Chain A
């Protein structure tokens, strides 16, 4: 009986089953480690109360977000980082990538490593290093002074503090995105560039007419991951500026953390804010796909 059944399994079905068998562990792990907590977080977001004394209260946490000036401030900060930092970083990454893709360039490996290296540093330690670089008597101010400029209280002013965060983010993540572009560039046939050269195209023209269009899928990918990462920004806000001065550099994730662990713990409200971030990330990703995908 069982033999017959086994025989009944066609080759295609067998292939399918093998496929599913490979997918199964990862799927189960994702469901268990990712989707299950998400569902629990959603249930938690419907509860209010301090610490462990929680009661169901419907969507009151969500209406509460709309009335929260601190959340609005952190929302503004996060989107400010997003709008300024992501384009700067991606353009820089693209520039570096096309420079490093040049066949005649020497020490390519060295440059690549140098630009990618920041990515290998731990988030906390690089944040601490940037904090000491930009301290009142730190390296940056020392350099400014030696050029006869007056030192800047970087962390004393909202805009300069935000600028430091953006500089730090660009330093940390440009190399990471550059690697994606490099691998994308390597898939573009060199003959295309040669043809363009023969036709008399300027380097600028080749870049905008060949490189960018052919890299579009990669650009889309990096945009989505960067947007996603920036909306969840936490380490820099906590370790570099601690949200200060005031709350002017605090990100949404940092505020969520504070709501749970620094202030009197309000887990329901924190969960509601996390769900809101999830929704925002999803909407932005869909928008970017719609804009970027022209199939």
Chain B
């Protein structure tokens, strides 16, 4: 008899163990957190290091975000500043990549169980409309929370606003910058001024000279990634959607000229395509290319290579030649904080946000060293922004970028932003890599998005 009992117990622990493994697999997250992350990250039960659900402690808030050097650093710093006036306050940060946060949100809502959500999470601006439209239930409406949204740039607040309701607290800024290697420009007889406030046709000519003199292409791009194309689109105030939400790919005035520029630069050898993100960063750091155009957060990766200190300079991106409303400014990336509907301490969370991300110049002065640029207007006046940065040749790059961001045209994202972005990526990839016909690819992209919206 005893044996039987032992056997049953063993068998049941095995079954339970298997079940637990299955559950754990789906939820394990990449937790390669740096020092900043591990400092306040606490293991959350059996599920790797992810803390699920609202915290029981009334002075603790749980947070999901990514990037130890950037977002995690910022939220920990904010907590540190807030704790000075509110002893005992702390945040429990779980490092989760942005797309994993999105998958987790989707899963929680689909399962009808929001109790796994943290108090606060960070969301990419480009995804915000999709989630606010499809799953309004996960957000706490912040419209009348006391946060003064008028102090943030209007275009930025628009990302997290749906039907007049504010669902997010704007955080960092993705103003597009053009970073160039001054030492390589010199070899080609140029200075950074020759690349400031210019048009794409001018840029392409100069890029050819740089290529000729140094052998280096001026730009790098991840094959199939529409980042650069999307940045160029927004620089002329164009979106893949119209105001009424209909798809604006086929009749988009700017898209075809942009694709032609891209195609021409690949043909000239002035734009090199790499396979994945790691190679993209490597191409910047190991001197394969003479420059890069991307959101200002790319600075964090550029400064990672100390050896190149003083060899880089920052300027604005080229603008399109014959398109109405074209500017030298655009945006890529940037994100906003959201307070979930699962948060039991909304007052605390709002007060925390209001005293830091929406109310502390001290806070923004600190995180600027990480390249986290504020979209909160009062922070831009601070002296910290006017400091020269040695890495970029002693230029006051932060003030420059704040200036770019105020001039950036806004764009329309909507719930189907990623569907459209993907479709353009596929078109780009087919045109560049398989030599497909541009017009028919643009037509296909339009049809793909319309098909997805028809479901």
Contact = CB atoms under 8 A, between A and B. Distances in A.
Interface of A: 25, 29, 48, 50-53, 61, 64, 67-70, 131, 135-137, 153, 155-158, 242, 244-248, 258, 260-269
A269 B455 contact: yes
A47 to B, nearest CB: 11
6 nearest CB pairs, A to B: A51-B134, A245-B429, A246-B426, A263-B419, A246-B429, A244-B224
Contact of B135 (A29, A52, A242, A266): A52
23 contacts: A51-B133, A52-B137, A61-B455, A68-B451, A136-B279, A156-B223, A157-B434, A158-B434, A242-B224, A244-B223, A244-B429, A245-B429, A245-B430, A245-B434, A246-B224, A261-B106, A262-B418, A262-B422, A263-B422, A264-B130, A267-B110, A268-B455, A269-B455
B433 interface: yes
A67 B451 contact: yes
Interface string B261-291: 0000000000001111001000000000000
Contacts of B451: 67-70
Contact of B416 (A137, A244, A263): A263
Interface in B132-159: 133-135, 137
A52 B455 contact: no
A265 B134 contact: yes
A121 B415 CA distance: 38
Query: Main SS of chain B's interface residues?
Result: helix
A264 B452 contact: yes
Contacts of B418: 262-264
Contacts, number: 97
A52 B452 contact: no
A135 to B, nearest CB: 5
A69 B448 contact: yes
B455 A70 contact: no
Nearest to B453: A264
Nearest to A135: B275
Contacts of B422: 258, 262-263
Contacts of A136: 274-275, 279
A263 B421 CA distance: 10
A64 B134 contact: no
Contact of B275 (A64, A155, A260): A155
A265 B416 CA distance: 9
Name the interface size band of chain B. Answer: 35 or more
B162 interface: no
Given A29-B15, A52-B110, A264 B275 contact: no
Contacts of B454: 64
Instruction: Tell which of B134, B137, B448 has the most Cβ of chain A within 10 Å.
Output: B134
Contacts of B224: 242, 244-246
A131 B275 contact: yes
Nearest to A61: B455
Nearest to B419: A263
A253 to B, nearest CB: 15
Contacts of A68: 451
Nearest to A57: B455
Contacts of A244: 223-224, 429
B365 interface: no
Given A135-B275, A137-B279, A263-B416, 14 more contacts: A29-B15, A52-B110, A61-B455, A64-B455, A131-B275, A135-B276, A153-B433, A158-B434, A244-B224, A246-B224, A261-B102, A261-B103, A268-B455, A269-B455
Contacts of B275: 131, 135-136, 155-156
Nearest to A269: B455
A61 B453 CA distance: 13
Given A131-B275, A155-B275, A264 B429 contact: no
A11 to B, nearest CB: 20
A162 to B, nearest CB: 13
Contacts of A137: 279
Given A156-B433, A246-B429, A264 B134 contact: yes
Interface in B1-50: 15
Nearest to A131: B276
Interface in B369-423: 415-416, 418-419, 422
B109 interface: yes
Contact of A135 (B273, B279, B444): B279
A267 B111 CA distance: 12
Instruction: Tell which of B274, B276, B430 has the most Cβ of chain A within 10 Å.
Output: B276
B427 to A, nearest CB: 8
A264 B415 contact: yes
Contacts of B453: 264
A50 B133 contact: yes
